[in-house]
Amino acid sequence: MMDIALFKDIIDKCSHCAFCEAVCPVFREDLLETHVARSRMLILREALIEKRLPVTKRVREIVNRCLLCGQCKNACPAGVPVDDIVIAGRSALQQGKGKLSPKRFLVNQMMAHRGDARLLRTGERMAAMAGADLTDYPRFARTLFSEIYPSGIYEPVTPRRATVAYYPGCATNVFYPDTGEAVMQVLSHNGVSVIIPDKLVCCGIPALASGDIESAQAMMQKNIEQLSQVEADWIVTDCSSCLMTLKEKTLFVIDSVSDVRQKAEAVSRKMIDVMAFLNGIGLVGSPPSLGERVTFHIPCHAKGKEGLANAPFTLLSNVEKATLIPQEEDSGCCGAGGTFFTGHKRLSQGLRKKRCSAIRHSGASTVLTQCPSCRTYIQAGLGCEKNVTHPMVFLARAYGFPISRI
């Protein structure tokens, strides 16, 4: 369901209770009523459905100044899917503008060819040559995950207990192959046979967030075709945004009458966070051990979902000697919002400042988060003072497995 007009009745379910106001990171920073979910939706309805408001620069700004964090949806007693409505609004605004911007076109091309190391590194070089400030951006890894673990079947080193397909997201593939290596080694040690399907592409969330539903749909269909062919008990992923996209957003985007819909539903049922999966089957063998004080950053896309937000904390409770400092689910957004920070520098930096201050206050030396975008953005905010990494990398280190430096 992508046509904004189809959301009219859903928007009208809003009772203006303002529960969404209390949880919106953008409102907390801007303190403007127009930036709260209920107002965004009213403006969308008036401008794009009823057409009683002109589509001004300010209307576009209100629609674009949303992190798509989903906190309003989680808090909404009427169950209004605000993030989906904002995406549909962006799509409608995009249609009015005609062609994609060169920047968005380039990003979509890179996402669709995520295994093409040459193309990716050329893009990075071009950005550096153009004088772009890359401080808050991740760097491409020397070796991609797909070069370390090409698609194929990887049998475990201990007796087999389960078979999973692994969807390594783009960020794991090109920026953080250490996460992928950790996933593969921990699963192997715990008796899990892993299938890495061929020809996977970006999950589609960056395109979807920009309102480019056509590109998102194309990427999702490719992944669904590949993942649905794999005979596995579960499909695991290490990234909370990829999980949300493959589990929930594909069903929002893939037409209910299309041929791939049934396959999308089957894939959605099998999708699970790799740490929630490991919590379900339990770790085998001697407990891993690592004496470090760690705290957690819960990504917005993991919040409000049972067994997901606390999956790293539960899993790492198995690590002897580690001091785990939990964080509340509402401990705040870091401001990254996928690629949101690239267009809303001051707002994102304001959110990050608060988040980094809470992290410093925790006294931990290591910060763990299951979102690569949060990982990069928080690390840039903290500098060398603390290490920010994925919980699976921490677990692999606790086991003593060799993980490449990124």
Residue 63: half-sphere exposure toward Cβ, Cα within 13 Å: 29
CB of 255 closer than 8 Å to CB of 261: yes
**Closest CB to ligand SF4 among residues 80, 164:** 80
Smallest distance, ligand SF4 to C-beta of residue 82, A: 5
Smallest distance, ligand SF4 to C-beta of residue 86, A: 6
Smallest distance, ligand SF4 to C-beta of residue 20, A: 3
What is the rounded distance in angstroms from the CA atom of residue 404 to the CA atom of residue 128?
A: 25
For residue 310, the SS3 value is coil
**Closest CB to ligand SF4 among residues 235, 371:** 371
In terms of DSSP H, where are the helices of 69-212?
A: 71-75, 82-97, 102-112, 117-129, 145-148, 170-174, 177-189, 205-209
User: What residue ranges bind ligand SF4 (CB under 6 A)?
Assistant: 14-20, 23-26, 37-38, 40, 66-72, 75-76, 78, 80, 82-83
Smallest distance, ligand SF4 to C-beta of residue 44, A: 11
**Closest CB to ligand SF4 among residues 43, 283:** 43
First-to-last C-alpha distance (Å) of the chain: 40
**Closest CB to ligand SF4 among residues 71, 215:** 71
User: Of 277, 273, 255, nearest to 264 (Cα)?
Assistant: 255
**Closest CB to ligand SF4 among residues 68, 380:** 68
Smallest distance, ligand SF4 to C-beta of residue 85, A: 9
**Closest CB to ligand SF4 among residues 113, 354:** 354
In terms of DSSP H, where are the helices of 190-319?
A: 205-209, 213-228, 240-244, 250-253, 261-270, 274-281, 311-316
26: which residues sit within 8 A by CB, 6+ positions away?
35, 65, 66, 67, 347
104-133 CB burial, b ≥16 within 10 A, e <16 = beebbebbbebbbbeebeebbeeeeeeeee
Smallest distance, ligand SF4 to C-beta of residue 67, A: 4
Smallest distance, ligand SF4 to C-beta of residue 70, A: 5
**Closest CB to ligand SF4 among residues 25, 115:** 25
